[in-house]
Structure 1
């Protein structure tokens, strides 16, 4: 099948039918025609133009989402949030918001950089054995799905819901004489409001406006969202390629490998409670958002998340995965070589024990033995 070519049946041209109307896509599919714009083999590396033809929609969506997210990120917080400062005797009402402003242990740019670059590097390292362009493509595209959608999701929450950072009062530097309902000050507002009149709005703040706005957008944690969106995605990818949770007993280092990214994400998130930039619930919310996006993005690009028979298989753009071994592409796109997994694994006895015509060819040209034969089986044949 030519790359992105139109399929033909019995040499017929894809044009108007005898009735003068073009067949519907459903009719053509029912008669064995492939989707014209998505007819590409995943075992072949495409040209840049062919790849762009398949991917341009995602690229455009990512650019638009990135621009939208940046615009919302730069916008001031939308709600007028009230906060208590002190009681009449001078005691701070909420000391958890009166912590000192400290330097971030891990700045947001570094958290986002690590969450993107580390998984990309690991995906490329996996290609030492996987050697598949489309695995790299699906792996990195899925990672970007996760990171970008999670980032846009959380900046909307920050802007429209927000919350007080632990160092809010230190940044605000409140001056009650600036309250809109103070003597000699015109206007009205939610200052001196609430029970015993101890609640105010940011009108009384005298600190740096940019820092004040930032300290009103604590929920959810952007660091945690980015870290979990990137590193949880990497953990899922490693599990699929290493077959850590599979149909055999793997080595312990594989368990360590898939949970190291989880540890990294947790350390980045936990650092935010040490440098007092976030409350614990901000971190938990960011972790949940990032993890949900990671699972969703991986499943969009690969045939499964937990089913060990298929979770390593990159999905085609226009052709469904039929979840059968015959005709499935990239069934050997794994890193491990244990228990019959990987290219050529479990086939040496077959090649030496009988003619190649006795079996059937799998994806990538590696011979497969029929399920139920008495010879050794491949890992993905053992269902």
Structure 2
């Protein structure tokens, strides 16, 4: 017959277990990015999209509008301030440092002259069109994925805020370079319509001391606004905006569809089994060959950005170096902005998870019930 002390052991064990459990921390301020820690993040912040009607767009956790403004007004305000400053610089500011250029009879037949005397053509893609497309197309695609795919408001908010980071800051950056450094566009001499000093001999009779350098204010007779615009070739704003916007989109698509990773796509990383896939990925199990259509999807934004950039060489508004530097600036800001909005850029375990400050952790008390 069991003793009284033996009968009390289960109760004591239960009490001890409850005591130990109560001492465990409920949350930590420094979250780990290990696969096991992703289980809570992915389950709580991103319910399984299969719980929703796939044909109807919507978020599972939309905040109140005032909550959204409280979390984002500062970032939205600084982005608008950057864009307004860029617009004012571009529209009204004169070149800070003078652009000197040689001028003599027959200058158009020299290598420098042929480089800067191209005909003045209308832009294939205007500045306004480039700015709208560079923002609207990536925003629409990322918004559609958030509405129909991840269903997470935090993800959509982080994507749009990050896109704004990239475009607004890159635009301001290249505007300052245009004003302070700049450069003469390929059609500069056509716009300038300079008065060539009659006392200077032609190329065949050049002697030491015959070559003189001038600034636009000294010799140009063309329209003042066009002459000012023709001195802002470096870097290419079209190229910078295209690579900032579409480069950010490419990084987003890579994160959601796991292009440069072990395979899968965003639906595998959201929902009930998301942490299991992350743990298998950490161990190296279940590696998959990435399908070719994902590569096409990833490079499509880069291709669009390249076409935008090269169009500025084709219409003789920019030199190749202007386009290349603008592309580098845009790509740099796209990467920095993505890292500021998401946990990583190329780590497939975490690059699809938005940071808390970008909308992924809105006040739960102010989130509308579905």
What is the TM-score with the length of structure 2 in the denominator? 0.69
1:268 to 308, 313, 318: 308
2:74 to 47, 50, 57: 57
Residues 1:82 and 1:263: Cα distance change in structure 2 (over 3 Å): same
2:289 is aligned with 1:249: yes
- In 2, are the aligned partners of 1:219 and 1:282 still within 8 Å (CA)? yes
**SS of equivalent to 1:220:** coil
**SS of equivalent to 1:196:** coil
Asked which structure has the greater RCO (Cα within 8 Å, sep 6+), the reply is: 2
User: Mapping of 1:2-151 within 5 angstroms?
Assistant: 42=45, 44-74=61-91, 75-87=93-105, 91-92=109-110, 93-127=112-146, 128-151=148-171
Deviation at 1:130, TM superposition (A): 0.8
Deviation at 1:310, TM superposition (A): 0.5
Residues 1:31 and 1:164: Cα distance change in structure 2 (over 3 Å): same
Pick the structure with more helix per residue: 2
| Structure 2 partner of 1:228 | 243
1:160 to 146, 159, 180: 180
Deviation at 1:45, TM superposition (A): 2.1
- In 2, are the aligned partners of 1:224 and 1:286 still within 8 Å (CA)? yes
Residues 1:47 and 1:88: Cα distance change in structure 2 (over 3 Å): closer
CA-to-partner distance for each residue in 1:186-215, whole Å, 9 max, x for gaps?
xxxxxxxx9533311112100011110001
Residues 1:219 and 1:306: Cα distance change in structure 2 (over 3 Å): same
Deviation at 1:33, TM superposition (A): 9.2
Deviation at 1:318, TM superposition (A): 8.8
Residues 1:214 and 1:88: Cα distance change in structure 2 (over 3 Å): closer
Deviation at 1:124, TM superposition (A): 1.8
- In 1, are the aligned partners of 2:158 and 2:358 still within 8 Å (CA)? no
| Structure 1 partner of 2:212 | 198
Q: Distance in 2 between matches of 1:300 and 1:217?
A: 31
CA-to-partner distance for each residue in 1:79-120, whole Å, 9 max, x for gaps?
111111335788445310011101111111111111101101
- In 1, are the aligned partners of 2:341 and 2:358 still within 8 Å (CA)? no
Residues 1:236 and 1:195: Cα distance change in structure 2 (over 3 Å): farther
Unaligned runs of at least 5 residues, structure 2:
1-24, 31-43, 47-60, 200-207, 263-287, 362-370
1:293 to 333, 339, 354: 333
Q: Distance in 1 between matches of 2:170 and 2:108?
A: 41
- In 2, are the aligned partners of 1:42 and 1:316 still within 8 Å (CA)? no
**SS of equivalent to 2:357:** coil
What is the TM-score with the length of structure 1 in the denominator? 0.67
Deviation at 1:311, TM superposition (A): 0.5
Residues 1:318 and 1:137: Cα distance change in structure 2 (over 3 Å): closer
Number of residue pairs aligned between Structure 1 and Structure 2 = 274
1:217 to 227, 232, 245: 232
| Structure 1 partner of 2:343 | 303
Q: Distance in 1 between matches of 2:222 and 2:139?
A: 40
User: Mapping of 1:331-350 within 5 angstroms?
Assistant: none
Segments of 4+ moved more than 6 angstroms = 30-35
> Larger deviation: 52-61 or 273-282?
52-61
Residues 1:100 and 1:45: Cα distance change in structure 2 (over 3 Å): same
- In 2, are the aligned partners of 1:161 and 1:219 still within 8 Å (CA)? yes
Q: Distance in 2 between matches of 1:273 and 1:210?
A: 21
Q: Distance in 2 between matches of 1:154 and 1:293?
A: 11
**SS of equivalent to 1:76:** coil
